[in-house]
Chains A and B, each alone.
Chain A
């Protein structure tokens, strides 16, 4: 009886010792391996706690369950401690890894280098998209043109003084580089008659005998034409206001000034309120608040006739804008020649 009691006491002491030692070691250790080792030393097949369990057989049947409970409690406690320690170690390891994997975020990134679209073709696409959205289609015509389409069909007979407005490059007496995209007007009407509406824009290259900071011997225009029953000059104003706001910003206003083109009557020059100062006056708009962007008007009855439409039945408006000018305004380019210089550093901005 006494012996039994002594054993119990000794067992308890040993349990206490294992507990103290294990918890102490647990606190000291710093790696997962050490943790694993310790676990084996205590709980493994030859572990200290396992060894104690084996001694349970020597206890009296009354003591055995009590002792068992104590050992199980200890076991539970240790396992919890292990788990906590394992979590702690994982955290430390993760922190160490994160620290070790730190990169120099100031180094430049890398990407697949993309190319750049020319500002002129970019602006043309933008203009096209705006008018496509309003139901216009895109028409085209030849860049080498006959005198007939470039001038005569546009109400500019030979020796008309208005021909002086455009110095031409000639191929023969009757064939020239088109000086405007307007010949596409008559070409399109001829093709479409008698269908209505004729609703097109015609972007393209044009050529004039000129070369300085604001003129290039080759440049681009976008022509517009809408012929239908009941087209009014107020419609022209409406369409161009919508275009200007899409192109230059929602708060833009436009204003029309009387002008002259042989193929429109009435004719109007169109100004848009300055995109830089909003109309208050600045260097860009030469302190007027307005910037001229295009020429326009109601299609001249002679031109409708030459296109095969009856001016008593239909009316129409037409307009023409310089793409270079719009690109220069949009991107703040001061010298038109930069657009044809094709310096790769310049082009890569777009």
Chain B
């Protein structure tokens, strides 16, 4: 809502600057998004009248005009060809300034001296100002423009507009009268309103011919119509045009301007039908499937049976509350008019407007709620203006009134106000607010206040609403700061939340960088990596690439990695922990399953350093990170070759593994399938994805510390050559078994392939740590144990001892 200060001053004496008003309104709950000064920098532009137009002696495209600006006649050269002798035009006289700081001086234009310049709307940064002929040329003003008057005065540009950003609960402030009421309350001043505002009773005889019938009373409670004869269509007066323009509405003609002006004034949308084009009864009804209507904007609209229309005996003539129809439009030849002032249910208007993608000043008011008590009041104002503007004679009135909601009465007590707000307002402080709101109230002997809410404040329904009124008008700053008095509680994370945090921190400590990606991804990518066909499509995605809810975190990781790689960020350690969404039915009837997954991607290597060798971010590096997760969760993962078909063709079959914990499938780790990486500009990234629930279910949250023997340990190394396909872990486990209680630890410290190891074989070196909790071991017994182990391993694994 654009509120002209000049207009506001009609109702209220205002001493504050526009900025101060903006602050007062905003602190009072009516947010002002901006303050606009209407003059964008026009200085010394005077209204002139074209007296003569002659061809330029030296230039075909230029014309030489003489222009009367009251005090003198100027010779001005112009390139525009839309002007006629007698036109009123804006003249930038020498020394004038235009928006943007351009200064106009006398200039020689191809041998003719031009004493200034004729201006276009664009050069003046104005809109909706001139006659239709102004398009693409010089601004041609209405004939009522007075020669010699500064343009700024004529157009009322020395004025400010407050741009209200209204919350949906205050549609009443889409009306100048109600903004004045609100501001009056906040300033502690009573606004001055004319008499017409006090009445909602028709003052005209009932029309005997015109019938009105509301056929869907649940969608329209009241339809009032004023019938006007002897209509003379012409321009509206300058003051009305200027106020409409300040509000952002284009002046059209006196009749249309009156409907818009009254709507701005009272908030009640109006529509003017050419009565001679109406056929029979005016009906408010739902459209029938297949009906069509050409709206005022010239577009043919397909209607359906959810849309409320105004119809006559020939069919729909207007989209109720949204836009009129072209056929019954008021034109220059219109003689008789039916002014509609009706109530329509907001929800219905909202649906229709959305369905057709058609919004108007009218629909945006009805959607949010219009006071049904004001239809006749506004018609009274229409009648007054018609007479004042000599645009027509109000003759008769007709109305179908189905229902008017009773006045809201709210009961509240000062005790409750103070208890809810944590304040201590006195009787006077409470009553001062009620009075400044201009609400009728009683203070009952039991201490309760009974407040009669005026119909324009539809947002006030319950006690809490009154508590807010009292709080905001006294000012929120008066509410003190306290702390809750109730039982003290202890805040802590649930074990699940705690584990999520621990996992996140563990991965970060291990060198991984956390990313956050959108929960919606491109369907093709999710199909590839996620659970094919289980992703949930979004009905109205932002873009096609964000079309489905992800079933896996891998697509987001790959996309992030690809984007980084394109920027030459090639060394990447990324992880994400977040929800994926699995559906088991389509279309969804119940909420889908949301699962937390943890996924990561590694590629490249550690930064080059003068001292520390670079580490490759390969399968083993990632496995090492998962080892740290195992430690953090108190778990041991088992890695087995991939059996899950889902990753066939996605992961390198020789460089990937399924991960299980306590026999349950946890997830996977693996290098991407050759060539898939190149398509993304990546190089051999290693991926993993784990199911948080499985980790949570199995994790050991309590740690039991082991104690270690104080007797010295003895270490022995064992190097073996085995066939390449023998799993090192199998040997390690067997060694541990063979070593019995005294063998405390076995680690693989070297893996080697190549000469002199025979082809198809590898050398594995284990370090074995023997220790007894009770005594110091002797070399001899360790040697014996070690050679027994060696012998068994040699036999069982076909291993050869590498001395």
Task: Tell yes or no: B536 within 8 A of A by CB.
Answer: yes
Partner of B27, one of A257, A266, A298: A257
| B702 touches A (CB below 8 Å) | no
Smallest Cβ-Cβ distance to A200: which chain B residue: B491
**When chains A and B are docked, how far (Å) is the Cα of A300 from the Cα of B423?**
19
Q: Which residues of A contact B575 (CB under 8 A)?
A: 115
Q: Tell whether B486 is near chain A: CB-to-CB under 8 Å.
A: yes
B585 CB → nearest A CB, Å: 11
User: A258 and B476: CB pair below 8 A?
Assistant: yes
- Whether A132 pairs with B492 at a CB distance below 8 angstroms is yes
Given contacts A144-B594, A233-B422, A171 and B539 within 8 Å (CB-CB): yes
Q: Does B427 contact A (CB under 8 A)?
A: no
Question: Does chain B have a CB within 8 A of A25?
Answer: no
B587 touches A138 (CB 8 A): no
Q: Determine whether the beta carbon of B508 is less than 8 Å from that of A266.
A: no
B170→A260 contact, CB < 8 A: yes
* Residues of chain A with a CB closer than 8 A to B511's CB: 112-115
Asked if B396 is at the interface of the complex by the 8 Å CB criterion, the answer is no
Query: What are the residues of chain A within 8 A of B541 when measuring CB–CB?
Result: 169
Instruction: Decide if B468 touches A265 in the complex (CB within 8 Å).
Output: yes
**A181 CB, min distance to chain B CBs, angstroms:** 14
User: Which residues, 296 to 350 on A, are CB-close (under 8 Å) to B?
Assistant: 298, 300-301, 315, 339-345, 347-348
A226 is contacted by which of B171, B468, B484, B540 (Cβ under 8 Å)? B484
* Shortest CB distance A208–B (Å): 10
A260 to B368: give the CA distance in the assembly, Å: 14
Shortest Cβ distance from B473 into A: residue: A258
Residue-wise interface mask of A (222-249) relative to B, using a CB-CB cutoff of 8 A (1 in contact, 0 not): 0000101111111101110110000000
Mark contacts of B483-523 with chain A using CB atoms, 8 A cut-off: 1 yes-contact digit, 0 otherwise: 11111111111100100010011011111111111111000
For chain A, residues 128 to 155, give those with C-beta under 8 angstroms from any C-beta of chain B.
Answer: 128, 131-138, 140, 142-146
Interface size counted on chain A using CB atoms at 8 A: 87
- Verify if B579 is at the interface (C-beta below 8 Å from A): yes
Whether the Cβ atoms of A118 and B480 lie closer than 8 Å is no
Q: Is the CB of B519 within 8 A of A170?
A: no
With A116-B513, A125-B501, A164-B168 as known contacts, state yes or no: A345 contacts B569, CB within 8 Å.
yes
In the assembled complex, which residues on chain A have CB atoms less than 8 Å from the CB atom of B479?
A: 233-234, 237, 256
Interface string of A262-285 (1 = CB under 8 A from B): 000111100000000000000000
Residues of B within 8 A of A82 (CB): none
Decide if A170 touches B483 in the complex (CB within 8 Å). Answer: no
A255 touches B477 (CB 8 A): yes
Nearest Cβ distance between residue B667 and chain A, in whole angstroms? 19
Residues of B contacting A133 with CB < 8 Å? 491
**Provided the pairs A218-B519, A232-B422 are in contact, do residues A344 and B569 lie with their beta carbons within 8 angstroms?**
yes
Q: B421–A232 contact, CB under 8 A?
A: yes
Contact of A135 among B467, B491, B539, B564 (CB under 8 A): B491
Which of A107, A217, A256 has a CB less than 8 Å from the CB of B518?
A217
Which residue of the partner chain A has the closest CB to B367? Answer: A161
Complex CA–CA separation, A145 to B587 (angstroms) = 15
> Do B538 and A211 touch across chains, with their CB atoms under 8 A apart?
no
Q: B574 at interface (Cβ–Cβ under 8 A)?
A: yes
Return A154 CB to nearest CB of chain B, in Å.
14
Cα of A143 to Cα of B467 in the assembled complex, Å:
34
Give the secondary structure class of A's interface: mixed
Residue interface bits A147-188, CB-to-B below 8 A is 1, else 0? 000000000001111101100011110010100000000000
| Highest count of chain A CB atoms <10 Å: which of B480, B488, B513 | B513
**When the two chains form the complex, which single residue of B423, B486, B579, B610 contacts A229, counting CB atoms closer than 8 Å?**
B486
Given A175-B588, A257-B29, residue A234 in contact with residue B514 (CB < 8 A): no
Q: Evaluate contact between A169 and B538: CB separation under 8 angstroms.
A: yes
Chain B neighbourhood of A345, CB < 8 A = 569
Cβ-defined contact, B563 with A138, below 8 A: no
Check B493 against A260 for contact (C-beta < 8 Å). Answer: no
Contact of A342 among B169, B462, B516, B609 (CB under 8 A): B516
| Bound CA span A97–B395, Å | 116
Report the separation of the CA atoms of residues A131 and B484 in the bound assembly, to the nearest whole angstrom: 13
The answer to whether B472 touches A144 (Cβ under 8 A) is: no
Q: Assuming the A-B contacts A117-B514, A177-B538, are A260 and B484 also in contact, with contact meaning beta carbons closer than 8 angstroms in the complex?
A: no
Would B481 and A234 count as touching, CB distance under 8 A?
A: yes
A260 touches B467 (CB 8 A): no
Q: Which residues of A contact B494 (CB under 8 A)?
A: 137-138
B581 touches A165 (CB 8 A): no
Alpha-carbon distance between A142 and B590 when the two chains are bound, in angstroms = 12
- Is B280's CB within 8 Å of the partner chain A? no
**A57 CB within 8 Å of chain B:** no
In the complex, which of the residues B169, B467, B540 contacts A169, with contact meaning CB atoms closer than 8 Å? B540
Q: When chains A and B are docked, how far (Å) is the Cα of A145 from the Cα of B491?
A: 26
Residue B532, interface by CB 8 Å: no
Determine the chain A residues whose CB is within 8 A of the CB of B579 once the complex forms.
143, 205
Question: Does A108 lie at the interface of the complex (its beta carbon under 8 Å from any beta carbon of B)?
Answer: yes
A344 near B564: Cβ-Cβ < 8 Å: yes
Is A343 a contact of B569 with CB atoms below 8 Å? yes
Shortest Cβ distance from residue B365 to the other chain A in the assembled complex, whole angstroms: 11
B591, A175: Cβ atoms closer than 8 Å: yes
Are B420 and A339 in touch, CB under 8 angstroms? no
Known A118-B516, A125-B501, A315-B420: A266·B609 in contact at CB below 8 Å: no
A103-125 interface (Cβ within 8 A of B) = 107-108, 110, 112-118, 120-121, 125
The listed residue (A108, A229, A231, A257) touching B609 by CB distance below 8 A is: A108
Instruction: Give me the 10 closest cross-chain CB pairs, A-B, nearest first.
Output: A234-B422, A258-B29, A232-B422, A159-B347, A266-B468, A260-B167, A132-B491, A258-B472, A135-B489, A256-B476
Contact sample, A vs B, 29 pairs, CB 8 Å cutoff: A110-B612, A113-B607, A114-B511, A117-B508, A118-B513, A133-B491, A137-B494, A144-B592, A158-B347, A161-B350, A175-B588, A199-B489, A209-B542, A218-B518, A226-B484, A234-B421, A234-B423, A234-B482, A256-B476, A258-B29, A259-B31, A260-B29, A260-B167, A265-B462, A265-B465, A315-B419, A342-B517, A342-B574, A344-B574
A209-B542, A231-B484, A343-B567 are known; give 5 further A-B pairs, CB within 8 A. Answer: A107-B611, A113-B511, A115-B512, A161-B168, A161-B368
Residues of A bordering B, CB below 8 Å: 107-108, 110, 112-118, 120-121, 125, 128, 131-138, 140, 142-146, 158-162, 164-165, 169-172, 175, 177, 196-197, 199, 205, 207, 209, 211, 217-218, 226, 228-235, 237-239, 241-242, 255-260, 265-268, 298, 300-301, 315, 339-345, 347-348
